[in-house]
Amino acid sequence: MNQLKIRRPDDWHVHLRDGAMLAQVLDHTARQFGRAIVMPNLVPPVTTTALAEAYRGRILARLAPGRTFTPLMTAYLTDGTDPADIAAGFERGVLTACKLYPAHATTNSAHGVTDVWAIHRVLERMEKIGMPLLVHGEVTEPAVDIFDREAVFLERVMSGIARDFPGLKLVCEHITTEAAVAFVLGHGDRVAATITPHHLQFSRNAIFQGGIRPHMYCLPILKREKHRLALRQAATSGNPKFFLGTDTAPHAVETKEHACGCAGVFNAPVALESYVTVFDEEHALDRFEGFASEHGARFHGLSLNEGTVTLVREPTVVPERIAADGIAVVPYHAGTTLPWRIVEAKAGAGAAAG
Ligand code: NCD
Ligand code: ZN
């Protein structure tokens, strides 16, 4: 198969940033995806319905003319989150989900939740109204090895949330380990996961190949090869619990190439090209549409997109840098050639009945 036409996909985990960086990166997501779940880790974070509504307005104002793209907003949970505000935001259609960052787990997460007990009333309310909880699943204790933080979180925190809130919809975001795949498979339909292109394509060796490679540093960090293989199996299995979430996380080049470089892979410019390459290598092109365009929408109870994206087996040359307005960002796969290319994206009239 040298050409693949799929229903327009969605990205269930993006960092769109704000201000000049938002203007720089937005169209890389909007040109291929119909919708995207927008992460709230701005400075200061998007913690309320009002802040999410204002942020959504800034995103929509930056859309290129003619683009039909819907940002789906999230609220960043803190120990002080008001359940009534979150519920009102969900009911009004401003918020799609809440995001749980354990305090200090990653970029701009200093305000995150210190203990799940602090937000139990929020989780109870979310469970009641059917609002999903998106989880950055890593413990933050410095004593826990960085490569073990996800597995330890599943054991110590996530299994307790799943047990105590048996009706709460849970997304284990950007999963990186066999343990996470097993956790998702071991729970019912209301527990799902997103998987990034970089965790499907690279193991932790890539961070140290011939020297230190800051553009391969992200959180959760890349893991051993056996974990990458487990993720590839899960993503291409056709199981609707697994769906696309790029975790595209742009940082200006000088903050990545630094003595203390930021975590994040800017994969939006080549997201579909990267994922389709994985499905092609795994002889699972027939399952790509489910992973990219159907499973996430169904989990969230949203209709499927209308419109299509067509990919062809022709080389994409990835630039070394993408620059605008004084901000240069190094994209995922910079300076290499990928075997697939997007030829056409047709927006359609919005979302269809799913
Ligand atoms: C993200 C960022 O830069 O905002 N970085 C990353 O490595 N993924 C934060 C996050 O999602 O962990
Ligand atoms: Zn993220």
Whether 246 contacts 197, CB under 8 Å: yes
For β-strands 95-100 and 70-76, DSSP reports them as parallel
State the DSSP H helix or E strand holding residue 121, giving kind and residue range, or none if neither: helix 120-129
Determine the residue of 107, 146, 173, 199 to mutate for testing ligand 1's pocket, defined as the one with the most ligand atoms within 8 A of the Cβ atom.
107
* Per-state percent for the chain, helix, strand, coil, to nearest 5: 40, 20, 45
Closest approach atom of ligand 1 to CA 106 = 12
Q: Is the Cβ atom of 15 under 6 angstroms away from ligand 1?
A: yes
Task: For 141-165, write each residue's pLDDT tens digit.
Answer: 999 999 999 999 999 999 999 999 9
Would you list the domain boundaries of the chain? Answer: 3-352
Task: For 234-283, write each residue's pLDDT tens digit.
Answer: 999 999 999 999 999 999 999 999 999 999 999 999 999 999 999 999 99
pLDDT band at residue 352 under the 50/70/90 scheme? very low
Given 3.20.20.140, 3.40.50.1820, 3.40.50.10190, 3.40.50.300, which CATH number is that of 3-352?
3.20.20.140
- Which residue type sits at 325? D
What pLDDT sits at residue 351? 53
Stretch 107-132: mean pLDDT: 92
CA gap 154, 269 in Å, rounded: 31
What pLDDT sits at residue 159? 97
With H, G, I as helix, E, B as strand and everything else as coil, classify residue 332: coil
Whether 241 contacts 189, CB under 8 Å: yes
What pLDDT sits at residue 354? 36
Q: How many CB atoms lie within 10 A of CB 91?
A: 12
pLDDT band at residue 353 under the 50/70/90 scheme? very low
Closest CA to 150 of 98, 196, 205, 111: 196
pLDDT band at residue 350 under the 50/70/90 scheme? low
Task: For 308-323, write each residue's pLDDT tens digit.
Answer: 999 999 999 999 999 9
Q: Token pair for residue 321? A: 């840098």
Task: For 185-205, write each residue's pLDDT tens digit.
Answer: 999 999 999 999 999 999 999
Task: Characterise 21 by phi-psi region: left (phi > 0), alpha (psi -120 to 50), beta (else).
Answer: alpha
Q: Token pair for residue 118? A: 């602090």
For residue 217, the ligand closest to its alpha carbon is: 1
β-partners of residue 342 are 311
CA gap 108, 205 in Å, rounded: 26
Give the chain's mean pLDDT.
96
Q: Which residues are catalytic?
A: 247
Task: For 57-112, write each residue's pLDDT tens digit.
Answer: 999 999 999 999 999 999 999 999 999 999 999 999 999 999 999 988 877 888 88
Q: Is the Cβ atom of 106 under 6 angstroms away from ligand 1?
A: yes
> If you compute the radius of gyration of the chain from its CA atoms, what whole number of angstroms results?
19
Q: Is the pLDDT at 337 greater than 60, yes or no? A: yes
Whether 276 contacts 305, CB under 8 Å: no
Q: Is the Cβ atom of 218 under 6 angstroms away from ligand 1?
A: yes
Task: Characterise 271 by phi-psi region: left (phi > 0), alpha (psi -120 to 50), beta (else).
Answer: alpha
